[in-house]
Amino acid sequence: MIIFGLDLGNKQTKLFSNKTLSNEENKVEGKVLPSHFLYYDNLGNADTAIFGNKLNINKYKTEFDEEEYAWGPDLHKVHNNENFLDTIGFEKRYSTHEFKLLANFALGELAKDYDAENNFLTVKVVTGVPSDDFNESSVKDLINVLDGRHTITIDDISYTIDVKEVQVIPQSVGTVYNELLNNQGEINPEKEHYLEEEITVVDIGGGTILIDTLKNMNLATKTQFTTGIYTLYDMIIERAKAKGSEYSSLTAYDVEVILREGDDTKGYFFKPNKNVTLEITQIVQNVRKRYTKELINKINKTKKSTSSTDTMLITGGGANLVEKDEIKNRFEFVLFVENSEIANSMGFFKYGMAVMNSEDEEVAATAEE
Ligand SMILES: Nc1ncnc2c1ncn2[C@@H]1O[C@H](COP(=O)(O)OP(=O)(O)OP(=O)(O)O)[C@@H](O)[C@H]1O
Ligand SMILES: [Mg+2]
């Protein structure tokens, strides 16, 4: 069966299947899209073709909503922040209409890579939730959204995805499976030691920070903070606005893009309009320092003692936004995982493969008896 790995994060949607795998060694693909979208007509006359390059934004339509929506990795380029329909949320997120839309778009987005007959696909979905949501009612809500048959139309081509099975695991565990397993779902012998270790996963996401401890691959303790990277964006906005009214239009969506496009050498710049460029490098650096200190403090308080920890894995997109050296100096056995923003979803996919392999082995064993 086809396996879809879905990480429907507060800020970003990360998608993985065997069609998103890269053929090139050392290159991971997957799909990273925003966890917000627009009414399609809000694109208006937005220039979706800039310098002859068409923006990567498509039109999505589901059966349970009469509207058409615009979604894609280039959404931020249309500068329509005020109309973004967001799915970030800490309560009942999985029962919101917006979340349901996002989940359906995500299924369609993965399905469109397959050249399936009649665009009909039978799949198994593996996904994760922040550890606080790893309870019966939230998991049930999430399964409700994903399970069953979905028809999604992308740019007027219709795809039907029949989700036969949904498996929900704690989000942070995805990163560990990503470290442990290869793309076929087999254990990497060099990483086998993870199976018997005490591993702490620090997942710095857009909405949440998760500090979870696994013993022998089972979730032993979990702590969730609602101070994900959006609080770093908010701190930057607050300090910029305190400097003057020229910063008044700065939004979290802008900051997200500014941080991605800049670096410490080039600097970080806010361009409120074509003629004005404002440098915010100092603010970014100060806030990053502060956010990192607060993160270290959270890990310390949560772990109380780190002496029993064999490995600390730092994951989530936010891992790219903290001061890595500070954290490495502070804790022993720290590993910043590669491709941290997509690590969970890749792990979900690999976990799905591993489960399928073991089911196949069981069937083979029963047949032999
Ligand atoms: N290389 C990078 N440079 C700058 N920012 C990045 C980079 N990678 C990721 N980010 C940002 O990090 C933030 C967190 O991303 P991530 O995908 O982990 O959040 P999420 O999974 O949606 O949130 P949550 O786990 O709370 O649900 C996003 O705002 C994203 O834009
Ligand atoms: Mg996340």
Residue 272 forms part of a structural domain: no
- Dump pLDDT digits (tens) for 164-176: 999 999 999 999 9
Q: Determine the distance separating the centroid of ligand 1 and the alpha carbon of 14, expressed in angstroms.
A: 10
Total number of domains constituting the chain: 1
Residue 9 forms part of a structural domain: yes
Q: What atom in ligand 1 is closest to the CA of residue 259?
A: 4
Residue of 157, 145, 65, 164 whose CA lies nearest to 111 = 157
Residue 293 forms part of a structural domain: no
Strand order in the sheet with 209-215: 218-225, 209-215, 198-204, 311-315, 334-336
Residue 166 forms part of a structural domain: yes
Domain membership of residue 162 as a residue range: 2-191+340-365
Residue 183 forms part of a structural domain: yes
CA dihedral sign of residues 211, 318, 290, 308: positive
Residue 92 forms part of a structural domain: yes
Q: What atom in ligand 1 is closest to the CA of residue 7?
A: 21
Residue 47 forms part of a structural domain: yes
Q: What is the CA radius of gyration of the chain?
A: 21
* Residue-level pLDDT, tens digit, the chain, 369 residues: 999 999 999 999 999 999 998 777 666 789 999 999 999 999 876 555 555 568 899 999 999 999 999 999 999 888 888 899 999 876 789 999 999 999 999 999 999 999 889 999 999 999 999 988 899 999 999 999 999 999 999 999 999 999 999 999 999 999 999 999 999 999 999 999 999 999 999 999 999 999 999 999 889 999 999 999 999 999 999 999 999 999 999 999 999 999 999 999 999 999 998 899 999 999 999 999 999 999 999 999 998 776 788 899 999 999 999 999 999 999 989 999 999 999 999 999 999 999 998 888 888 888 777
| Test site for ligand 1: of 7, 8, 12, most ligand atoms within 8 A of the Cβ | 12
Q: Determine the distance separating the centroid of ligand 2 and the alpha carbon of 53, expressed in angstroms.
A: 30
Q: Which CATH number does the domain housing residue 49 bear?
A: 3.30.420.40
- Dump pLDDT digits (tens) for 311-329: 999 999 999 999 999 999 9
Q: What atom in ligand 1 is closest to the CA of residue 318?
A: 12
List, in order, residues 6 or more apart from 52 with CB less than 8 Å away. none
Pocket of ligand 1 (CB under 6 A): 9-12, 35, 205-208, 228-229, 256, 259-260, 316-318, 320-321, 341
What residues have a C-beta under 5 A from ligand 2, the ion?
9, 205
Closest residue by CA, ligand 1 atom 1: 320
Q: In this structure, which ligand is nearest to the CA of 317?
A: 1
Q: Determine the distance separating the centroid of ligand 2 and the alpha carbon of 129, expressed in angstroms.
A: 8
Asked if 172 contacts 157 with a C-beta cutoff of 8 angstroms, the reply is no
| Test site for ligand 1: of 91, 202, 237, 321, most ligand atoms within 8 A of the Cβ | 321
Which pTM does this prediction carry?
0.94
Asked if 334 contacts 327 with a C-beta cutoff of 8 angstroms, the reply is yes
Q: Determine the distance separating the centroid of ligand 2 and the alpha carbon of 363, expressed in angstroms.
A: 35
Residue 30 forms part of a structural domain: yes
| Test site for ligand 1: of 10, 11, 81, most ligand atoms within 8 A of the Cβ | 11
| Test site for ligand 1: of 10, 341, 345, 346, most ligand atoms within 8 A of the Cβ | 341
> Could you tell me the CA-to-CA distances from 299 to 43, 108, 237, 294 in Å, in that order?
42, 38, 25, 9
Closest residue by CA, ligand 1 atom 21: 9
Q: In this structure, which ligand is nearest to the CA of 315?
A: 1
CA dihedral sign of residues 125, 126, 127, 133: positive
Closest residue by CA, ligand 1 atom 20: 9
Give the Cα separation of 331 and 234 in Å (integer). Answer: 27
